[in-house]
Structure 1
């Protein structure tokens, strides 16, 4: 997330705080996205955390800090013993108008999301699909070793921009899945979660989008619709995080998402009012 976008979101929230602006005149909602690092004590309590920006207005920073420091996690174990752990975390807050005031709540929190390494080779677009003007989005589940290198790939769901019978759709999906998997097996990610001071194997979800070219050779500039394909269950039992179906994913959500983070909250905080 760019600092400009983050700053704009903070400004939008700050302008809506009591005493900073008139009462709400409409029903618009505002969202703030932030990320940083969070460190756990062996007993699962929060030792410390950081966010992308430390310039949150006090009316936001104080309730966020009070909430986060009260969180409790399932202790992370190594050989049966609890250890300290550190993870990258992403936080999404919403600000909603309520009776001329506002209400801030947590709408999403995720942990351990790896980062793409710059220079990843993109997949090759299947030539016959490009000629036919067919696009796709392949949701890959990738197994990473403790260095962040992809050691296995699984196509969880592939959705096409065109509808066809099962046989034809299946053939197109396999073409895109092959292209995405071949590229992914050459990728490496920066791991963001350490257990007892060491990075560990991880499983992550990465959406790979194939944008069909138009007749003039340019990419699509309009909204693209997809026909969701069947879901292929994951072969790795340690993948505890759910994969979000394409029709349920937030717009623009193309970031890698951990599916095996060891950071697990005792109580769900999503929806909690701060």
Structure 2
């Protein structure tokens, strides 16, 4: 009897599973220009997005409305990056696309040339793991003009090697100043002076460990040296970690007036 019951339950589970639609997640990156009245003036979808999906995204985004972006007390044209997560549900021979998540961040965070800071000699062979958070300031031409170590969390080992933080700080500044980012499109309202954040994991052969989230790295971070107190990053604006790639905080002055999450393209 128990064997028959188990078989029946397995059959029911397979039937339910067979009826469930196949769902995939599609990530879309784009640049948009917001006009002074909050309408979408331009959209440029990333080249790695399938043409059919790109066409649907362009059509939908052009109908969105934003609250006017106000800077220095006046509505301005503004250019920002758009990251969108789409749920693609199998329907017949194609898919239905539904918006799951939308975030607006500077698209300049994707480097043209990326020099990754190495592990200092004082940290090599220590058997410790190191979770780092760095920041870099990028000028309108895409040059890294300042870089700083904000947080270094040491896991494993009994005592932190001497001068370790200073050595990491030197390596972070040296390497990142050789990186290069896309120039700012200032004429379209893109910020010329940007600050990007970089989570880095350093693992010794003798040590292993899961990576800390960006929020966890900010737990004991020092202030960004070139930002005023009111410009310091807020945890509510934190993006998801991109696995060792630079990330930007969310554009807090870019706000949708149209409800788009949950909408179908």
- Counterpart of 2:145 (choices 142, 151, 155) is 151
Does residue 255 in structure 1 map to residue 255 in structure 2? no
Alignment of 1:22-41 (within 5 A): 25=19, 29-41=23-35
Q: What residue is the counterpart of 1:19 in the other structure?
A: none
Instruction: State the 1:86 CA deviation.
Output: 2.4
Alignment of 1:59-208 (within 5 A): 62=56, 65-66=59-60, 69-77=63-71, 80-95=73-88, 104-114=98-108, 115-118=110-113, 120-160=114-154, 162-164=155-157, 168=160, 172-191=164-183, 194=186, 196=188, 200-208=192-200
TM-score normalized with structure 2 length:
0.66
Say if 1:61 and 1:122 are closer, same or farther in 2 by CA, change over 3 A: closer
Q: What residue is the counterpart of 2:210 in the other structure?
A: 225
Instruction: State the 1:191 CA deviation.
Output: 4.0
Q: What residue is the counterpart of 1:209 in the other structure?
A: 201
Q: Deviations over 1:10-33 (max 9, x none)?
A: xxxxxxxxxxxxx86558752111
Instruction: State the 1:261 CA deviation.
Output: 4.0
The DSSP-based 3-state class of the residue aligned with 2:173 is helix
- Aligned 8 A contact 2:143 2:180 in 1: yes
- Counterpart of 1:234 (choices 202, 214, 223) is 223
Instruction: State the 1:260 CA deviation.
Output: 7.0
Say if 1:61 and 1:187 are closer, same or farther in 2 by CA, change over 3 A: closer
Say if 1:131 and 1:71 are closer, same or farther in 2 by CA, change over 3 A: same
- Aligned 8 A contact 1:157 1:232 in 2: yes
TM-score normalized with structure 1 length:
0.64
Q: What residue is the counterpart of 1:49 in the other structure?
A: 43
Cα distance in 1 between the residues matched to 2:136 and 2:116: 15
Cα distance in 1 between the residues matched to 2:52 and 2:120: 46
Instruction: State the 1:195 CA deviation.
Output: 5.2
Q: Which runs of 5+ in 2 are unaligned?
A: 1-16
Structure of higher CA gyration radius: 2
Cα distance in 2 between the residues matched to 1:68 and 1:239: 32
Cα distance in 2 between the residues matched to 1:170 and 1:244: 35
Say if 1:268 and 1:232 are closer, same or farther in 2 by CA, change over 3 A: farther
Cα distance in 2 between the residues matched to 1:258 and 1:201: 12
Q: Report how many aligned residue pairs link the two structures.
A: 234
The DSSP-based 3-state class of the residue aligned with 1:117 is strand
Cα distance in 1 between the residues matched to 2:147 and 2:24: 37
